[in-house]
Structure 1
């Protein structure tokens, strides 16, 4: 009797459907990331701010009796008043002082060449001979070569200035997109986390561990770096104001920005100023600035950063430093958060893999040991002997 059943259609195979679906998910995921790439900074900072301020949003949500839209609006308004508005005021002050400093240099009231000449004249003879050997002691020639280099690059500078309007427009658009995305992340953050937990093809406890570590690292890195930057910048600006150095807010903001580089960031600003003061006869001011930079500004970095960043993320200080510097060099300013996040996810993924391998090793059945000789008593022992009667392997 012949079999009249038709062979199964290979196009209806469940394995083929699953592979096709995986390829579609991967393809459109990469396409969606490509669409988001021009606005990656705005979306990332919306995500970072939502994570940092989500506890405050939950508190506000309880106050307004769980009205999510109202709570998200109030939280967003608080972020604008507490973070964005003060940052805008400081930025305006920095721009004003930078403009005044530029006008002073242009009018001749501030002469950087004279400052450099005073420093070179104060150097010992051996240092002057080393600079002269490399052709760096003749300051007018050095300044002339620098002027020629600037004149050759004037066309590039002019083209860059022409694009300022476009950059400003892009910044404004990105800023409002960040606020818009931030509002919906605050309002619908809990539902989004639930969808991610269901969609990620891992066990629920593994997904929760990954998400928990991601949130912890972002919150600790943003809070830690921002607090350290603000404190170091304020202390540096205070020292420069006390010493009468022009543009204290400008140099304080520069110290705050460079403080994203752990251990050496702020010293790149106050260090040269202190050296200049020592070489030009202002020994007391130079020693005081060095003491303030090492004992006060440096103490902030050495104490607050490990407490706010390393402790919560449970990462060693050297890994935080390497991840931060590498992230900034690769992703720009956003890298001071992205770098530590990638490092933390690297550690937690390897930890999850180690846990899975240990679980599989414990659940795997023990292979029976081969009998040494067919006639020995060990060979005649029953294979089903209890595990507690066997000697542990060396």
Structure 2
């Protein structure tokens, strides 16, 4: 056996060069990680606005800069400002509540007393109640910090989006050229990535918004004070893994029962289970027929990862990253593994034929 294997100098230089690139990439990723949500947001808006940008520049003969600025303004008014407005409503309404531990203690004490009296179920002791109170009151500075962080990411996101839209032709040509895949897999990656981004960016907010509207209607019908604010909270909680909208309407219903309003509390429970709960499955089924069919587990675990990585925006970006990862695994198998299996099969099949010849 010959162990004197020589490695071509070009291979050595290539490995060293790729190692240097990887090192620089890791350093950049570490220091620019806080801008990752801005980049993902710019890519998401780019996918949603791409067709409109092409139509405005090619068919309507608008200039690139004017088209990009018009679409950015439209997206700001139609997408970003409504979220900001809803967030400001929630923060304004719950800030006094978060800063008053006695109000929080009273709310949960009422619920705990009702459960103990009716079902002999001790949900909270003093230690757990103190933990819940401290956790909720600690949300106030967190909300303020996340608001400032979201504003910074918003500015960076639109800065990136402007250059992406104005360079749409060269950008997409560069992406197609740079992908180290066969042509059919390039088409698969780009088409599926666009579909996945659109599905997550459109599907998740639509489901949350509709569940929030249904919750507002139910809270109004059964006499819950400030139904709009609690409806917004219910829509936001609809993306919480495993718990979903129950994180909002269950405590409200139990608190209503604890106040002695049995009919209203029972109505809220029925509305929550039947209307709000079932609407999630119905809405997702309808959207899946029009958008990419993303497995619910991808959404659940994507939100778990996304909330930890990006905060509020992780609701969308978490499932997006997980879906793209699964897509890239499929492409890798199609690009490399299937090819190796095919080559081995052809080699095995051709062996006896060659011997017979």
TM-score when scaled to structure 1? 0.73
Tell me which residue corresponds to 2:316. 337
- Distance in 2 between the 1:162 and 1:368 partners? 67
- Kept after mapping to 2: 8 A contact 1:101/1:246: no
Question: 1:274-315, CA deviations, whole angstroms, 9 ceiling, x for partnerless residues?
Answer: 223334432221222223222222233112224435873344
- Kept after mapping to 2: 8 A contact 1:239/1:289: yes
- Distance in 2 between the 1:202 and 1:162 partners? 43
State which of 157, 160, 170 in structure 2 corresponds to 1:178.
157
State which of 35, 60, 63 in structure 2 corresponds to 1:64.
60
Q: Cα offset for 1:49?
A: 1.8
Structure 1: tracts of 5 or more residues without a match: 1-9, 137-141, 371-380, 385-394
- Kept after mapping to 1: 8 A contact 2:239/2:315: yes
Tell me which residue corresponds to 1:146. 130
Question: 1:203-250, CA deviations, whole angstroms, 9 ceiling, x for partnerless residues?
Answer: 232223222222211110111111111111222123223333233233
Alignment of 1:347-366 (within 5 A): 347-355=326-334, 356-363=336-343, 364-365=346-347, 366=349
Determine which structure has the larger helix proportion and give its number. Answer: 2
Q: Cα offset for 1:45?
A: 1.4
Q: Cα offset for 1:24?
A: 3.1
Please tell me whether residue 98 in structure 1 is matched to residue 94 in structure 2. Answer: yes
Structure 2: tracts of 5 or more residues without a match: 1-5
Q: Cα offset for 1:360?
A: 4.3
Tell me which residue corresponds to 1:383. 356
After superposition, the Cα gap between the structure-2 partners of 1:299 and 1:35, relative to the gap in structure 1 and judged at 3 Å, is same
- Distance in 1 between the 2:209 and 2:124 partners? 40
- Kept after mapping to 2: 8 A contact 1:113/1:143: no
When Rg is computed on C-alpha atoms for both structures, the one with the higher figure is 1
Tell me which residue corresponds to 1:204. 183
Give the secondary-structure state (helix, strand or coil) at the position aligned to 1:298: helix
- Kept after mapping to 2: 8 A contact 1:72/1:186: yes
Instruction: Count how many residue pairs are aligned between Structure 1 and Structure 2.
Output: 347
- Distance in 1 between the 2:324 and 2:90 partners? 36
- Distance in 2 between the 1:327 and 1:157 partners? 21
Tell me which residue corresponds to 1:44. 40
- Kept after mapping to 2: 8 A contact 1:64/1:70: no
Please tell me whether residue 29 in structure 1 is matched to residue 14 in structure 2. Answer: no
- Distance in 2 between the 1:309 and 1:259 partners? 17
- Distance in 1 between the 2:197 and 2:179 partners? 20
Question: 1:32-91, CA deviations, whole angstroms, 9 ceiling, x for partnerless residues?
Answer: 323422322222212222222323333333453152221111100101111122223323
- Alpha-carbon RMSD: 3.9
After superposition, the Cα gap between the structure-2 partners of 1:119 and 1:281, relative to the gap in structure 1 and judged at 3 Å, is farther
- Distance in 2 between the 1:194 and 1:291 partners? 54
Alignment of 1:1-394 (within 5 A): 13-62=9-58, 64-65=60-61, 67-99=63-95, 101=97, 113=106, 116-117=109-110, 120-121=113-114, 123-124=116-117, 127-128=119-120, 131=122, 136=125, 142=126, 146=130, 170-261=149-240, 264-308=243-287, 312-355=291-334, 356-363=336-343, 364-365=346-347, 366-369=349-352, 383-384=356-357
- Kept after mapping to 1: 8 A contact 2:111/2:251: no
After superposition, the Cα gap between the structure-2 partners of 1:293 and 1:190, relative to the gap in structure 1 and judged at 3 Å, is farther
- Distance in 2 between the 1:187 and 1:80 partners? 17
TM-score when scaled to structure 2? 0.79
After superposition, the Cα gap between the structure-2 partners of 1:285 and 1:162, relative to the gap in structure 1 and judged at 3 Å, is closer
